[in-house]
Amino acid sequence: MLLESASLNALVLDDIHPVFLQGLEEMKIKVLKKLDLSSDELEKIIAGYEIIVVNSKTQVNKKLIDAATQLKFICRPGSGMENIDMLYAEQKKIVCINSPEGNCVAVAEHCLAMLLSWNRNIIKANNEIKRGEWLRKENTGEELNGKTIGIVGYGHTGSELAIRAAAIGMKVLAYDKYKTGFGNEKIEECSLEKIKTDADIISFHLPLTTETKYMADASFFEQLGKKILLLNTSRGEVVNTKDLITALQQNRIKGACLDVLENENLKSYNEKEKMQFDFLFELPNVIVTPHIAGWTNESRYAMAAVLLQKLKKNLKIN
């Protein structure tokens, strides 16, 4: 797609690293940054823009795309694209760009941090010491060395986690429905069934689609061969919260490390959700972080820089 960049207008709805905005300005693209537009306000002004930069909160649906009569590019820092109707965008000849390469290392490191914290009782012991309790024997942990981790989804983040897990002595099983031939002497490419049977730890690295929604449900937990530790840094709806709680209550799994939830707006919880998540948050064998796995100073820059280079490539700009 060859366009004259000086004639383009970009609407930035995401608090993206300044390197991206600087890049647009260097290309003489006119930029408007608006982080607090309602959906109605966005629909009223989007017709004036060829480029939009969105985060996961902006729903780029058919209605919005129809209102965006000049739109040529939808840019999404990071990996998730489930908030964008990509099929309809493609029909409208709109190019969708994301930058999963930018935060895959950050996510992989966060996974290891959560695993180490869980296995070595770091959070629990820290809280006890601050209460004046010095408990050594009670906080005897487990080593990750020698454990089997099953990685579900072998894209950018799954493959980065596999490298790091293998480096600390873990046996790595990996499954990807849409990718084959990636196994090597350190990573065993296998079926999802083998992961369910053999893994001590199962980590999800999947986009949210109709296929992956509630992949970890009651049936999934019933098929496990071991009491696993479940790790989810992908999307909250990959794991069915109700079924996860049941699995924890029934002692089917050891625990969970969650960076994502089905509903991440804690203030919007209805009574049922509040009861579920209050129970989950109070469990000593559950660690929860606020969707920060992919957020580091380095990844924030990298996501923006990769996105900028992809946009330039599509614009045929060196």
Query: Which pLDDT does position 36 carry in this prediction?
Result: 86
Catalytic residue among 101, 235, 237, 262: 235
Contact 118, 257 (CB under 8 A): yes
Which of 3.40.720.10, 3.40.50.720, 2.60.40.10, 3.40.30.10 would CATH assign to domain 5-102+298-314? Answer: 3.40.50.720
Average pLDDT of the chain is 95
Percent of the chain past pLDDT 90, that is, above it, reads 93
Query: Which pLDDT does position 3 carry in this prediction?
Result: 58
Percent of the chain past pLDDT 70, that is, above it, reads 97
pLDDT tens-digit profile of 112-157?
Answer: 999 999 999 999 999 999 999 999 999 999 999 999 999 999 999 9
pLDDT tens-digit profile of 212-236?
Answer: 999 999 999 999 999 999 999 999 9
Q: Is 291 a catalytic residue?
A: yes
Q: What is the pTM of this model?
A: 0.92
First vs last C-alpha separation in the chain: 13
pLDDT at residue 5 tops 70: no
Q: Is 17 a catalytic residue?
A: no
Query: Which pLDDT does position 316 carry in this prediction?
Result: 82
Query: Which pLDDT does position 7 carry in this prediction?
Result: 82
171-175 and 286-288 strand pairing: unpaired
Confidence of residue 64 (pLDDT cuts 50, 70, 90): very high
Q: Which CATH superfamily does the domain covering 104-288 fall into?
A: NAD(P)-binding Rossmann-like Domain (3.40.50.720)
Query: Which pLDDT does position 56 carry in this prediction?
Result: 83
pLDDT at residue 317 tops 80: no
Mean pLDDT of 73-91: 94
pLDDT tens-digit profile of 97-107?
Answer: 999 999 999 99
Locate the domains of the chain by residue range: 5-102+298-314, 104-288
Report the C-alpha gap between 177 and 158 in whole angstroms: 13
Mean pLDDT of 93-99: 96
**Domains 5-102+298-314 and 104-288 alike in fold:** yes
Confidence of residue 61 (pLDDT cuts 50, 70, 90): very high
**239 has which bridge partners?**
216
Q: Is 41 a catalytic residue?
A: no
Query: Which pLDDT does position 227 carry in this prediction?
Result: 97
Report the C-alpha gap between 290 and 265 in whole angstroms: 10
Mean pLDDT of 291-300: 96
Catalytic residue among 90, 143, 264, 298: 264
Report the C-alpha gap between 62 and 69 in whole angstroms: 12
Tell me how many helices (H) and strands (E) the chain has.
12, 12
Query: Which pLDDT does position 86 carry in this prediction?
Result: 94
Report the C-alpha gap between 32 and 14 in whole angstroms: 11
Count of C-beta atoms within a 10 Å radius of residue 101: 20
Query: Which pLDDT does position 150 carry in this prediction?
Result: 98
pLDDT at residue 4 tops 70: no
- Which among 145, 219, 221, 158 is positioned nearest to 187, based on CA atoms? 158
